[in-house]
Amino acid sequence: MKLVKRLSAASLAVLMAASISACGSSDSSGDAAANGDTTTATTEPGKELNEDQKNQVASLTENENLKKTELANKTIKWLAHYDINPSAGAVKGTELELFEQKYDGKIEWVNADWNSRYTKLASLVMANESPDFFPADDMDTFPKGAIKAMFQPIDDYVDLDSELWKESKKYCDDFLFNGKHYIAVIYPEPNLVCIYNTKTIEENSLDDPAELYYNDEWTWDKFQDMCKTFTDADNEKYGLDGYWYGNAISQTSGKPLIGMTDGKIVHNLDDPEVAKAQDFMYNLEKDNVCFDRSSNNWSTRGDGTTGEGLGSYLTLFIPTGLWAIQNTPENVKIIGDVEAGEIMFVPMPRNPNGDGTYYMGSRVHGYNICTGAPNPEGVAAYLDCCQVAYQEAANIGEEVLREDYKWNDDMIKMRDECYKLCAEHPIFDLQNGVSPELDAVMQDLSQATMITGGGATTWTEAVGTNKAKVEWLLDQANTNIADKPTK
């Protein structure tokens, strides 16, 4: 079976575990963590798999790639701003069901809100009370987690050369630190897609972006024309809203702003393809098609609570993660009526003068093993379960999308297409994974050409202002990498 086929289908089997991790927020249950409470959190239980699905998982417990051993410690501790155990409205992941059935395993959630995750991790590691594993999905764990010894290599516990892991190994190889692997990548997935409401498209007599994509006509030019045609500020209609459209468009260049080459962290600020994307972004902002967050306390329209205008038909496009629509109809109604076919998405448009490739910013669905983890063997068993579920139980994930989340055939087909693009050309941007200092600089730089409210600058000006700071911070990080002994 080809890797792209397996990725696009099998990733459905683990969508529940990954679908909420990229939103960069936490619910009220994270307040205790913010106040220093290190107790294990609890959440309202989610939905179990049905009996047929559980029986299918039971058949996987005899998979030859799963270790036939009894775990000495059946509990693994998970530190994150969300729980792998399903909460209300979510469906249990196939990989968790397999871990429970095969190893009688359990996942104990150590709750930390978004802003305090690393502080809490560091304090627990220093106190010799480490959790076992941590999510890599938000692309902010590498390489800083290795440099600061918050995470340990996975190589002693995960056999990347095994039959089970061999197809994911090339993605794990993208996260090497002094010759060791620090992220167990289950698969790459879309970081940001372009979500829209089909009713808005129809009522404004616009071309359907999905049809444009399949006809290879979904380009920057078409995207810009549609945003300009739709925007009517007097009637509160805007072509773009959200927090991430800058990064989403920039990565259609095919280059991350911050990446790794031959074990060194590098920037692509001077790359001509990046410059073309940033110039396009600057012109979009000058067309005034973006909702002006500067006039709304730097928040999106409704700050995420009203679908940023998608559900009210006042916004044309929201570039965001698939996690935003992988939920029950009740939970996505702020975006549109999924059962009426209103919700749809496409990859971000391509450069009409580029190489013809639809490049999509990517992230990993994967995990880090914490330094001092008390049960790394248990984590390794869970990771193997993730791989088996990903490879052998894709149909369960699709059943969840169709039956619980009410996705239609068009959405399923486009989701497969997006995963295929990620498998073929993953664009992993490490701008949030190097250091808090670089994170702050890149937050300004990555949105410099699209800051609303008259603050946007050209890419040439933005690079001129920030390049020296970026290079100094990368030099510091690369020195830290070189100074770390190889183990």
Domain at 320, CATH number: 3.40.190.10
User: Does residue 197 sit in the same domain as residue 257?
Assistant: yes
Is pLDDT of 41 > 60? no
pLDDT of residue 397: 85
How far apart, in whole angstroms, are the C-alpha atoms of residue 321 and residue 190?
7
Give me the count of residues in the chain: 487
Between 220 and 24, the higher pLDDT residue:
220
Is pLDDT of 100 > 50? yes
Is pLDDT of 422 > 50? yes
pLDDT of residue 394: 79
Say if 396 falls within a structural domain.
yes
pLDDT of residue 45: 65
Residue 155: domain span: 3-187+364-424
**pTM as predicted:** 0.87
Say if 486 falls within a structural domain.
no
User: Does residue 323 sit in the same domain as residue 179?
Assistant: no
pLDDT of residue 453: 78
User: Does residue 380 sit in the same domain as residue 291?
Assistant: no
User: Does residue 173 sit in the same domain as residue 305?
Assistant: no
Task: Give residue 86's pLDDT band: very low, low, confident or very high (50, 70, 90).
Answer: confident
Is pLDDT of 35 > 90? no
User: Does residue 343 sit in the same domain as residue 368?
Assistant: no
The alpha-helical segments, DSSP class H, found in 2-156 are 3-10, 15-18, 31-34, 51-60, 94-103, 117-126, 144-147
Between 158 and 395, the higher pLDDT residue:
158
State the average pLDDT over residues 372-388. 97
Say if 175 falls within a structural domain.
yes
Tokens of 298: 């730097």
Give the residue from 377, 409, 424 where a domain finishes.
Answer: 424
Span between the terminal Cα atoms of the chain, in Å: 36
User: Does residue 395 sit in the same domain as residue 284?
Assistant: no
Is pLDDT of 283 > 80? yes
Distance of CA 411 to the CA centre of its chain: 18
Range from 34-38, 58-62, 226-230 carrying the lowest mean pLDDT: 34-38
State the average pLDDT over residues 464-477. 97
User: Does residue 231 sit in the same domain as residue 104?
Assistant: no
pLDDT of residue 34: 32
**Residues 398, 326: contact at Cβ < 8 Å?**
no
Residue 100: exposure state from Cβ atoms within 10 A (0-12, 13-18, ≥19): middle
Say if 226 falls within a structural domain.
yes
User: Does residue 218 sit in the same domain as residue 349?
Assistant: yes
User: Does residue 36 sit in the same domain as residue 129?
Assistant: yes
Task: Determine how β-strand 315-320 pairs with β-strand 133-135.
Answer: unpaired
pLDDT of residue 421: 95
pLDDT of residue 296: 85
Q: What's 447's DSSP letter?
A: T
Tokens of 466: 């920030």
pLDDT of residue 400: 87
Percent of the chain with pLDDT over 70: 88
Say if 164 falls within a structural domain.
yes
Q: pLDDT per residue over 212-269, tens digit each? A: 999 999 999 999 999 999 999 999 999 999 999 999 999 999 999 999 998 899 999 9
Say if 153 falls within a structural domain.
yes
Between 26 and 370, the higher pLDDT residue:
370
**Residues 285, 449: contact at Cβ < 8 Å?**
yes
Task: Give residue 134's pLDDT band: very low, low, confident or very high (50, 70, 90).
Answer: very high
- Sign of the torsion angle spanned by Cα atoms 357, 358, 361, 365: negative
Task: Give residue 395's pLDDT band: very low, low, confident or very high (50, 70, 90).
Answer: confident
Q: Which residue has the tokens 């996705």?
A: 407
Q: Is 411 strand, coil or helix?
A: helix
pLDDT of residue 46: 72
Say if 487 falls within a structural domain.
no
Is pLDDT of 16 > 70? no
Q: How many structural domains comprise the chain?
A: 2
User: Does residue 120 sit in the same domain as residue 246?
Assistant: no
Task: Give residue 485's pLDDT band: very low, low, confident or very high (50, 70, 90).
Answer: low
Say if 68 falls within a structural domain.
yes
User: Does residue 230 sit in the same domain as residue 120?
Assistant: no
Tokens of 352: 């009409």
pLDDT of residue 13: 36
How far apart, in whole angstroms, are the C-alpha atoms of residue 123 and residue 119?
6
User: Does residue 98 sit in the same domain as residue 235?
Assistant: no
Range from 303-312, 343-352, 391-400, 429-438 carrying the lowest mean pLDDT: 303-312
Residue 199: exposure state from Cβ atoms within 10 A (0-12, 13-18, ≥19): middle
Range from 288-292, 410-414, 460-464 carrying the lowest mean pLDDT: 288-292
User: Mean pLDDT of all residues in the chain?
Assistant: 88
Between 229 and 487, the higher pLDDT residue:
229
**Residues 352, 358: contact at Cβ < 8 Å?**
no
Q: pLDDT per residue over 426-448, tens digit each? A: 999 999 999 999 999 999 999 99
